[in-house]
Structure 1
């Protein structure tokens, strides 16, 4: 049952990916084809949801009109992002690992960085090497501990993982800082709550 917007999005996204996987690159796949395919697969509730909502219908048509390879790539990126969140969630980690044992998981250092930035409250920071060649976090209220940076040589890799999960925004020319996202804040809170429940 599509009880929430999140459930509906996850369901429709996975079905779009399966639909495109069933078709060759030369088959564009129009809205009516997708509806027929859903009906054949007995996804009647999804069919009803899509056909009764004009905005959703238009959105699906727009998505299906995209280039086949680009659409498949974007659906995979979205699927990977959702899976990354699941495998790093205390609630869904076991299930996600059972589905894909080889899926990458955030390191302890990456999780510690996320929790630290959340607790610090500034929301944004940059990194540079000090005179002693050690990496320094700039713009924070609190100095990071050695425990948080347990693997400093993998710091860049961990920051990129946090960006890929949607927990940080990557620095740009306009904003040369890493910035925690709303999603990052929610995930940091879930990690802290999970740790509290284990005590």
Structure 2
């Protein structure tokens, strides 16, 4: 398979840049609340995802982590075949909850695989963007990632189609997914299977 091969529908089969926002299960650490908004995944289930098969040999991973999942993020990146390189912090300027300190930041772990330099070398390790509904990441992330990382782009655990003209592919429980991940079905897989049988 070549690095930029595509399916019949024009969707790539491997991506140079992957963005992921896993539904971390923090309940084991005493943190509660996220399960009211979406289904959580165990660390082992997240680590088991075949993300290495989705990534080009020379690629970037942008992995969202919370303050309490920072260590897990490093483990997940390595399980997916990437090397963590730096942390980009989203400064919210709004106090959140926290068992010990009041959370007002989240982080994107920037990771690489193979030879994958960034396209822009003046990005600081923080950015500011407004907070919207629970767990939704700021739209500013897409322009920032596109400035540093080359496409094709894939967002895992997407909650909406990215506001970008760069042609992102998406996969997740809350969207009509462009991608199938073996062993990780989402509702759109069942709908598409029914539609195929009805033809």
Task: Give the TM bin, normalised by the shorter chain.
Answer: under 0.3
Q: Which has the higher helix share?
A: 1
Higher RCO, 1 or 2 (CA under 8 Å, sep at least 6)?
Answer: 2
Q: Which has the higher strand share?
A: 2
Q: Normalising by structure 2, what TM-score?
A: 0.27
Q: Normalising by structure 1, what TM-score?
A: 0.27
Q: Which of these two proteins has the greater Rg computed from alpha carbons? A: 1
